[in-house]
């Protein structure tokens, strides 16, 4: 069992006819993901990658029964595309687009209120349930079905931890890239809640980084609920200089907060196991499950 996606996921792709989408969606189809439609204004009525192209998300949902959308839309148009999917009541929305303006994401967050849509991203590598469904741009080379749920702010570290948990014989139930932007949808805490409720997830890995307060929110939730499943956290950026953006738009620590040390301290106090090195996450989880 996975969170967010499964064998019943029927995916539409906004911007399917673009070059990046053509490449990555081709990989997803080869992996076994059900891609049932594309949406590209001005190209409705065509076929691309054996999927029908529609003018609007509402038309695609009505005609194909799509229940998830993946966005490959340029940043200046991404918010409009997200809001269109929200208004069409698509249950799951994954946005891999980078550099979406913050003010646009504020509007998207407002549009999400009171709806049934869950947004993952933007600036997300997507969601992967090994052997079941790939909705994103991540590598699948080291993915193996198993019991570890991974929620991450970093795409590259997700790939590393996925390889480690596979090497340790643990595998993954689902990996979720929440996105590296300061304003986004699903949070690390949201993922932890979903993984705790998932009977097939036996352990949880959180990959955090400097900037924002998501790791502290996870710590507060874990401290309040005391879940039985082991949770291992890696917080990148312990040696990052303050007031300098480090890769992701949201990876930015100031004197007012966002540094790695207080995040780690909060997680430790809540009972989360800390991996002090990216190369030790798989080993730390394996030991936690054994003990």
Spot the catalytic one: 24, 48, 184, 248.
248
Is-contact 230 290, C-beta < 8 A?
no
| Interatomic CA distance for residues 114 and 43, integer angstroms | 32
Burial 1-22 (b: 16+ CB within 10 A, else e): ebbbbeeebebbbbbbbbeebb
CA 110/CA 200 separation, integer angstroms: 33
Q: How far is CA 263 from CA 164, 175, 253, in A?
A: 23, 22, 11
| Cis amide linkage into residue 106, ω under 30° from 0 | no
Q: What are phi and psi of 204, to 5 degrees?
A: -125, 135
Q: Is the distance from CB of 128 to CB of 174 less than 8 angstroms?
A: yes
Please, are residues 165 and 289 in contact by the beta-carbon 8 Å criterion? Answer: no
Alpha helical stretches, state H, 72-133: 75-87, 102-112
In the annotation, is 248 catalytic?
yes
Q: Which residues are catalytic?
A: 248
């Amino acid at each position: 069992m996975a969170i967010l996606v499964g064998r019943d996921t029927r995916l539409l792709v906004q911007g399917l006819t673009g070059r990046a989408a053509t490449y990555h969606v081709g990989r997803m189809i080869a992996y076994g993901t059900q891609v049932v439609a594309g949406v590209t204004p001005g190209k409705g009525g065509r076929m691309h990658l054996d999927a029908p192209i529609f003018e609007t998300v509402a038309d695609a949902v009505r005609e194909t029964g799509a229940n998830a959308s993946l966005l490959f839309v340029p940043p200046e148009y991404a918010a409009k595309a997200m809001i269109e999917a929200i208004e069409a009541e698509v249950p799951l929305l994954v946005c891999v687009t980078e550099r979406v303006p913050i003010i646009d994401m504020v509007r998207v967050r407002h549009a999400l209120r009171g709806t049934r849509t869950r947004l993952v991203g933007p600036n997300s590598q997507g969601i992967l349930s090994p052997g079941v469904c790939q909705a994103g741009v991540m590598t699948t080379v080291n993915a193996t079905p198993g019991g570890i749920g991974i929620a991450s702010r970093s795409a590259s570290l997700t790939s590393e931890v996925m390889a480690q948990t596979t090497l340790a014989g643990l595998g993954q139930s689902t990996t979720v890239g929440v996105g590296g932007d300061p304003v986004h949808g699903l949070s690390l805490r949201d993922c932890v809640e979903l993984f705790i409720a998932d009977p097939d997830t036996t352990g949880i890995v959180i990959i955090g980084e400097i900037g924002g307060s998501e790791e502290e929110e996870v710590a507060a939730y874990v401290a309040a609920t005391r879940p039985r499943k082991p949770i291992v956290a890696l917080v990148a950026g312990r040696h990052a200089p303050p007031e300098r953006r480090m890769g992701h738009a949201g990876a930015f620590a100031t004197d007012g907060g966002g540094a790695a040390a207080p995040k780690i301290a909060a997680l430790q106090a809540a009972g989360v196991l800390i991996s002090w090195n990216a190369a030790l996450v798989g080993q730390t989880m394996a030991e936690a499950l054994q003990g």
